[in-house]
A and B are shown apart, each in its own frame.
Chain A
């Protein structure tokens, strides 16, 4: 069974500081795709960053970067220079290459303290 675990239900960070959200997943696949989605209070789901498992280089999108550890099945999200607009629920998601389902974690609620 494919599962995605986000062990931190809530996190907080001071504005302008850095925070890391953790995500682990369980799979027997060797090729797959990982995503981080942001859900602000508006409820809209927004793609933050994605990583293809066959790529060793960690993905980066402006202030957002990931630490992808394939052997450990870990996919953490680092947010640098945190801004008030980063406050949201963050979901980690997994998609195997051989299947067509998506698997989401339970989410981490991030608070940014001014």
Chain B
């Protein structure tokens, strides 16, 4: 089944404790992206990647890191989480060469930083 998986689905952590949210897709998509969703703000893009070893900042990259060492994986790293990073996070993937291509979204990760 074509899908994007994220882990963990729920995470409660404390300020300053490094964490990684994993994202994996099985569709051989070149394009992968991370979003955060906050009430009243919609979805905002954090980082995106056009292919392996190619990553770019979105609108809200501060406090986040990403890497794309393999085509299928695109982990989101919070080196020193802070309470303002409490949010719902989505990973998504699509075909790069088709700009109108549908994005496949993961199920979301609910992160709480105390």
B43 touches A91 (CB 8 A): yes
A62 near B: Cβ within 8 Å? no
Residue in chain B with minimal CB distance to A39: B37
B102 touches A104 (CB 8 A): no
B45 near A: Cβ within 8 Å? yes
B24-54 vs A, CB cutoff 8 Å, 1 = contact: the mask equals 0000000101010000111111001010000
A105 to B43 Cα, complex, angstroms: 7
Cβ-defined partner of A44 (8 Å) among B31, B33, B50, B107: B107
Q: In whole Å, how far is B59's beta carbon from the nearest beta carbon of chain A?
A: 7
B58 touches A101 (CB 8 A): yes
Q: In whole Å, how far is A33's beta carbon from the nearest beta carbon of chain B?
A: 5
Please, which residues of chain A bring their CB within 8 A of the CB of B40? 9, 106
A4 to B43 Cα, complex, angstroms: 11
Please, which residues of chain A bring their CB within 8 A of the CB of B105? 44-45
B88 near A: Cβ within 8 Å? yes
Please, which residues of chain B bring their CB within 8 A of the CB of A4? 42
> A91-B42, A104-B42, A106-B42 given as contacts; is B103 within 8 A of A50 (CB)?
no
A101 to B112 Cα, complex, angstroms: 26
Please, which residues of chain A bring their CB within 8 A of the CB of B35? 102, 104
B48 touches A101 (CB 8 A): yes
Which residues in A have some Cβ–Cβ distance to B below 8 Å?
4, 6, 9, 33, 43-45, 47, 50, 52, 91, 93, 95, 97, 100-107
Known: A47-B102, A100-B96. 12 other contacts (CB 8 A): A33-B100, A43-B88, A43-B108, A44-B107, A45-B90, A45-B92, A50-B100, A100-B48, A101-B48, A101-B59, A102-B103, A104-B42
Which residues in B have some Cβ–Cβ distance to A below 8 Å?
31, 33, 35, 40-45, 48, 50, 56, 58-59, 88, 90, 92, 96, 99-100, 102-103, 105, 107-108
7 A-B pairs with least C-beta separation: A45-B105, A104-B43, A106-B42, A104-B42, A47-B102, A33-B100, A43-B108
